[in-house]
Amino acid sequence: MSGGALLLDLDGTLVDTAPDMVACLNRLLEASGEAAIDYAQARNQVSNGAVGLLTLGFRMTPEDRRMADLRRRYLELYASCLSDNSIIFNDFTEVFDTLSEIGWSWGVVTNKPQDLARPLLAALGLKPDAACVIGGDTLPQRKPHPAPLLHAAAVLGRDPARCLYVGDAERDIQAGRAAGMRTAAARYGYLEDPTAATRWGADHVIDSPRELTPLLRALASETRHAG
């Protein structure tokens, strides 16, 4: 189990998926005779997935009897436009170069269903490079449960203590801490209140993927000296 691994949340951490996810919400709202939602307002709900967006757009609770059907319709729409306008956040090319330099692997741990996460990564040219892709339906548990992160570490053959997990939601940091991993809160992601990230208990708070480069080098040096 030599070396370490960088594990990344998907939406709002590795990929800016908000343009496509919000567009699909507004298509569904308009088809249902509802008013479209302002992009800036909806963007902050993207990390909460389809349920979070539908709760906002249709002004209902997650327990609303309409939710199951609306979620199904939303996911069908979204599957048809996964990567129309979604892009990898800036500076990840530098991050991936650093991972190659230090000999670390990387993977994705997301609550997004696998049948959406994998095609999205493939469309963006990332899937061949990701050593693992753990979706929200890979295991019975989802974040904030640590099981998906521990499963990722096992797939990669890495000690969880030598993994860094990066995410833009409190559940990401909770899962990483419970798994015994180092954690970094991505304040550049989909946060309603960016200052909240400092209260999640993450080991690090970053405002750009670029900040991962020196952090990864430091962690790699630390793990080498630890043997």
Tokens of 177: 């801490």
Q: Looking at the structure, do residues 10 and 60 belong to the same domain, yes or no?
A: no
Tokens of 208: 């750009």
Q: Looking at the structure, do residues 11 and 22 belong to the same domain, yes or no?
A: no
Contact (Cβ atoms closer than 8 angstroms) between residue 191 and residue 43: no
Final residue before a domain boundary, out of 44, 61, 79: 79
Q: Looking at the structure, do residues 111 and 207 belong to the same domain, yes or no?
A: yes
Q: Looking at the structure, do residues 120 and 28 belong to the same domain, yes or no?
A: no
Q: What pLDDT is recorded for position 127?
A: 86
For residue 9, indicate whether it is catalytic: yes
Final residue before a domain boundary, out of 79, 95, 112: 79
Query: Which structural domain range is residue 49 located in?
Result: 18-79
Rounded to an integer, the average pLDDT of 26-55 is: 97
Whether this model's pTM surpasses 0.85: yes
Q: What pLDDT is recorded for position 100?
A: 96
Least Cα distance to 108 among 117, 119, 98, 95 occurs for 117
Q: Which of 9, 16, 168, 172 is catalytic?
A: 9
Q: Looking at the structure, do residues 185 and 106 belong to the same domain, yes or no?
A: yes
Q: Looking at the structure, do residues 146 and 204 belong to the same domain, yes or no?
A: yes
